[in-house]
Amino acid sequence: MSDDAANDEIFVTQDGSHSIAASRFGVTYHSKYGAITESRHVFIQAGLFPLLLNTPVQVSILEMGFGTGLNALLTFYEMANRRMEVYYEAIEGFPISIPAAQSLNYPELIDEKDAELKVVFERMHSMPGEEEVALTPHFKLLKRLGNLEDLDFLPRFDLIYYDAFAPSAQPELWTAPIMQKMYDALRPGGVLVTYCAKGEFKRTLKAVGFTVERMPGPPGKREMTKAIKERA
């Protein structure tokens, strides 16, 4: 663990779920109004559920910012009883430590009766990077342990969870070249969802070709953004 990560602090958000205050970036991984509430609202309800209406067999998801693994765990949980294959690729430049991950309260808060969740959550963190791992026969995870700026992607994704730290903390991750990279990684008809609703960011999305929709945000935020790569 780097010195920066050693100073990270786990705290309880308003829905009772944990988040981390990242000393390296001076920001938190989630909203103080509720980590699970925010992840469910922005990524699961606005991103994953609409996709499931149209994609009966296989879904391919790219997450920018694996972080605590909360979005990946919620996706795993939601997909567990559906007869669909999930390919989930997650980018992370600064992985949290395994002891930090073990102290997060997500598995029990998501479903305290589902013992598999804790096992899967630990495996998500302890599994190696750069290797596709079948967490179950239906859910494959690949962690890309590098900086987004340096990575390339196959144009295979139906959905992107864009969960970088905010533009105020990391403006370099909200630029046109990065959004072009995200656009190119999506299949036609693919969608990017993010909690960020800044005007400049939405203009950048439009400039690279996305159709942009404003949506109601999670508690504490008026709006969030959904960006669609239209079919030709």
Ligand X SMILES: C[S@@+](CC[C@H](N)C(=O)[O-])C[C@H]1O[C@@H](n2cnc3c(N)ncnc32)[C@H](O)[C@@H]1O
* Residue found by looking up tokens 């404003």 in the block: 214
- 227: burial class by Cβ within 10 Å (0-12, 13-18, 19+)? buried
Q: Does 94 bind ligand X (CB under 6 A)?
A: yes
Choose the binding region for ligand X from 6-14, 85-93, 199-207, 218-226 (rule: CB under 6 A): 85-93
Q: Does 163 bind ligand X (CB under 6 A)?
A: yes
How many CA atoms does the CB half-sphere of 110 hold within 13 Å?
27
Interface residue with ligand X among 48, 62, 70, 192 (CB under 6 A) is 70
* Residue found by looking up tokens 């294959």 in the block: 85
**Strand ranges of the sheet holding 85-91, from the earlier edge strand across to the other edge:** 133-136, 139-144, 85-91, 58-64, 157-162, 186-194, 223-228, 211-216
Q: Does 68 bind ligand X (CB under 6 A)?
A: yes
Interface residue with ligand X among 164, 182, 186, 192 (CB under 6 A) is 164
Interface residue with ligand X among 42, 91, 101, 227 (CB under 6 A) is 91
φ, ψ for residue 166, nearest 5 deg: -60, 155
The 189-228 site mask, x for binding ligand X (CB under 6 A), equals ----------------------------------------
> How far, in Å, are 138, 224, 232 from residue 154 at the CA level?
21, 26, 19
Interface residue with ligand X among 29, 88, 162, 183 (CB under 6 A) is 29
Cβ proximity to ligand X, 55 vs 170, nearer residue:
170
Q: Does 65 bind ligand X (CB under 6 A)?
A: yes
**Smallest separation, CB 222 to ligand X (Å):** 19
Cβ proximity to ligand X, 102 vs 211, nearer residue:
102
User: Which residues in this chain contact ligand X in the complex, by CB under 6 A?
Assistant: 29, 39, 65, 67-68, 70-71, 91-94, 147-149, 163-165, 170, 173
